[in-house]
Amino acid sequence: MNQRRPLPWPGILLALASGGFMLAAGSDPFLVLAVVVLWIATLWITQPPPQAQSSERLGVKISRDNMRDLIEHSGLPLLLLDRNRILIANSAAREALGPHVVGQDARVALRHPAAVELLDRQGGGSATIAGLTGPRSIWQISRYPVDERYWMVELVNRTAEADISRAHTDFVANASHELRTPLASIIGYMETLADSQQQVDGKTKSRFYEIVLNEARRLESLVDDLMSLSRVEAEKHDQPNERLELNGTSAQAARDAGRPEDKPRIEVIKSDTPLYIRGDRQQIEQLVRNLVDNALKYGAAGEKVTVTLDKDENGFARLAVKDRGEGISPEHIPHLTRRFYRTDPGRSRAAGGTGLGLAIVKHIVERHRGRLDISSKQGQGTTVTVRFPTIVEDTGHLS
């Protein structure tokens, strides 16, 4: 059914009023009538039909709906602006900024001086903004014109890239510091011995040589651990394929750890049944040696270090290394797997620690799709537990 064309009442009233003024001024009535009829007819002809008006409004609605469907599932946060008012925010944008931003002025929604400056700038552009969604967040915001009225705003989260860059910078700084310390000691003592004007007695020379040798060994350990960490990180996304029996591998690696005089302190309790996992033998041995070395260094002198192998309630192969030392304060435990983190730097260096042992363990566990847990009670000791998925023997698949 056709809709009736609406009457242009404001124009009709204006035409009638104008005709009344013409009659009052003494104009010919027939002339006034002709002018009024012509005026109203012109308004009627130029009035667009209702179908055209609704089609125009429908076209705008369809266009917005199509745009919403087009950008809704994009991984990047996207905003469609009508000048500065947010018409559409896709799911990623709503997650980053909140669903309340739709309908807001974008300058109010983003609330950052650099973002406001970008939105007020003539033409498009981009800016990198720190602190947009959190104190450590970094976003790159780009603004593109769709036409003279509508704008598209794209937000790219650069926080992870900045964190990685910061971590690399911190790692290089820490590694440089750790390498420089033994080198400075070696150079200092050797310069003293090489200085012909320094009269050094034999006993002092022997002590200096011993210090230089210890610092050189410490430097060698640090370089070895740095190379191990680099290799493990490079391979951590490639799950091992070798079928490995954890009982025998771990027991042998545990007995190889520590100094000869520490061997009587190491106690190994193996599982009653074989524990088969997909593993890299060299890395599993390194993991066990690192854990046992740490337990020997930081456990109480003369106390046993116990290595226990069994299956947990979920069928995972479990390796637990327990010392009986002073224990670790709770605030340190979440940070123990960070590179170069030490609860007591002086004691760690005196014991020959590099601060990389648990970082290497963490990456080995991740590569083997395992889980690492550290628990400690002050005065009672520390237990480090590693769980690995086991192989179902009849199928060869991981359990």
pLDDT tens readout for residues 139-198? 999 999 888 888 999 999 988 777 666 766 767 777 777 788 888 888 988 888 887 666
3-state secondary structure (DSSP) of residue 243:
strand
Per-residue tokens: 3 = 């809709």
* Topology adopted by domain 67-157: Beta-Lactamase (3.30.450)
* pLDDT tens digits for range 354-375: 788 898 999 999 999 999 999 9
Phi, psi (degrees; rounded to nearest 5) at 229: -60, -40
- Residue 229 or residue 305, greater confidence: 305
DSSP class of 125: E
Question: Distances in Å between the alpha carbon of 345 and those of 125, 276, 295, 350, 351?
Answer: 49, 38, 16, 9, 10
CA distance 288 to 297: 14
* Strands 125-130 and 138-145, sheet pairing: antiparallel
The tens digit of pLDDT for each residue in 308-330 reads 999 988 889 999 999 998 888 88
The one-letter amino acid at 230: S
Residue 79 has pLDDT above 80, yes or no: yes
Question: Which range is most confident: 26-40, 129-143, 172-186?
Answer: 129-143
Q: Which residue has the higher pLDDT, 384 or 182?
A: 384
* Beta carbons within 8 Å of 273's beta carbon, 6+ residues apart: 311
CB 296 within 8 A of CB 261: no
pLDDT at 385 over 60: yes
Domain map of the chain by residue range? 9-47, 67-157, 162-235, 243-388
The CATH T-level fold of domain 162-235 is: Helix Hairpins (1.10.287)
Fold observed for domain 243-388: Heat Shock Protein 90 (3.30.565)
Can you point out the beta strands (E) in 295-364? 305-311, 317-322
Q: How confident is residue 2, by pLDDT bands cut at 50, 70 and 90?
A: low
Tokens for 217?
């060994």
Q: Is the pTM of this model over 0.85?
A: no
